[in-house]
């Protein structure tokens, strides 16, 4: 079974459409690692789309704040403003769908999904030392995580933690071949708000029976998203950052 692995879509329908167009025909099932909403201008459109895709989805911190399940007190002022804006925009049934999303970790078809870290959905895994806990805790060889918006991940092999970075060429992907005696913590990157200096939408196509994980990047029309954010009155720093991929 080939899986399309999405994370951190953040209410960016243009980026999600670009990812789906590029990935068409390459997958049978979809999973989503959380942060369906927050930051972006299209919360209802993105929730509708993820629901229509039948994506197996776990919640992220922005889904909790955007649905009202959590107050946004621990967010910075900009993120909090958008969480409240998102709450206002969401249709009741979409708000309820977000509220009821399961908490990771979730095991699907032999791999594990988490939003942040294995033991804490809100923890950011940036460094090998932080990755080690999740690599040791996870009950499967491969765990997919999000939250940092950085495409790549970590490996554990012979008690050594390694870091993985990818720089796919235009409209293409980098392929990782899964090795027998290695444990993986892999981040597909963010569809709707990449922060690794690459502005393109990021996602993964995983064909684990064939030991293949493809890290994809596809360009999308950033300006059209920025325009909708402006019309919606979303904070300027969020509008700007899409153009920098930071
Ligand atoms: Zn996020």
Cα torsion 183, 185, 191, 193: sign? negative
Instruction: List per-residue pLDDT tens for the chain, 246 residues long.
Output: 999 999 999 999 999 999 999 999 999 999 999 999 999 999 999 999 999 999 999 999 999 999 989 887 888 889 899 999 999 999 999 999 999 999 999 999 999 999 999 999 999 999 999 999 999 998 999 999 999 999 999 999 999 999 999 888 776 899 999 999 999 999 999 999 999 999 999 999 999 999 999 999 999 999 999 999 999 999 999 999 999 999
Residue 209: inside a domain: yes
Residue 169: inside a domain: yes
The CA distance from 122 to 113, in Å, is 13
CATH value at residue 110: 3.60.21.10
For the chain, how many helices (H) and strands (E)? 8, 12
The CA distance from 122 to 119, in Å, is 9
Number of domains in the chain: 1
How many angstroms separate the alpha carbon of residue 31 from the centre of ligand 1? 15
Structural domain for 211, as ranges: 2-241
The CA distance from 116 to 58, in Å, is 11
Residue 29: inside a domain: yes
Residue 62: inside a domain: yes
Residue 24: inside a domain: yes
Residue 143: inside a domain: yes
How many angstroms separate the alpha carbon of residue 9 from the centre of ligand 1? 8
Tokens standing for residue 97 = 């769908």
Residue 246: inside a domain: no
How many angstroms separate the alpha carbon of residue 148 from the centre of ligand 1? 7
How many angstroms separate the alpha carbon of residue 40 from the centre of ligand 1? 11
How many angstroms separate the alpha carbon of residue 168 from the centre of ligand 1? 21
Q: Whole-prediction pTM value?
A: 0.96
């Amino acid at each position: 079974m080939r899986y399309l692995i999405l994370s951190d879509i953040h209410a960016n329908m243009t980026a999600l459409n670009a990812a789906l167009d590029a990935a068409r025909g390459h997958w049978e099932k979809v999973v989503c690692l959380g942060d369906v909403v927050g930051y972006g201008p299209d919360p209802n459109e993105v929730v509708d789309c993820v629901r229509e895709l039948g994506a197996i989805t776990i919640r992220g911190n922005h889904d909790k704040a955007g649905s009202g399940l959590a107050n946004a007190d621990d967010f910075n002022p900009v993120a909090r403003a958008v969480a409240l804006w998102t709450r206002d925009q969401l249709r009741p049934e979409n708000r309820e769908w977000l509220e009821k999303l399961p908490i990771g970790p979730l095991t699907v078809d032999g791999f594990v999904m988490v939003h942040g870290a294995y033991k804490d959905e809100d923890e950011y895994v940036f460094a090998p030392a932080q990755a080690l806990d999740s690599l040791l805790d996870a009950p499967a060889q491969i765990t997919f995580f999000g939250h940092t918006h950085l495409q790549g991940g970590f490996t554990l092999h012979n008690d050594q933690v390694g870091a993985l970075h990818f720089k796919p060429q235009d409209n293409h992907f980098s392929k990782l071949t899964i090795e027998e005696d290695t444990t993986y913590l892999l981040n597909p990157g963010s569809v709707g708000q990449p922060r690794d200096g690459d502005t393109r939408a990021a996602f993964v196509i995983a064909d684990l029976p064939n030991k293949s994980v493809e890290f994809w990047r596809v360009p999308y029309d950033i300006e059209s998203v920025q325009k909708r954010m402006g019309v919606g009155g979303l904070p300027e720093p969020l509008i700007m950052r899409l153009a920098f991929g930071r």
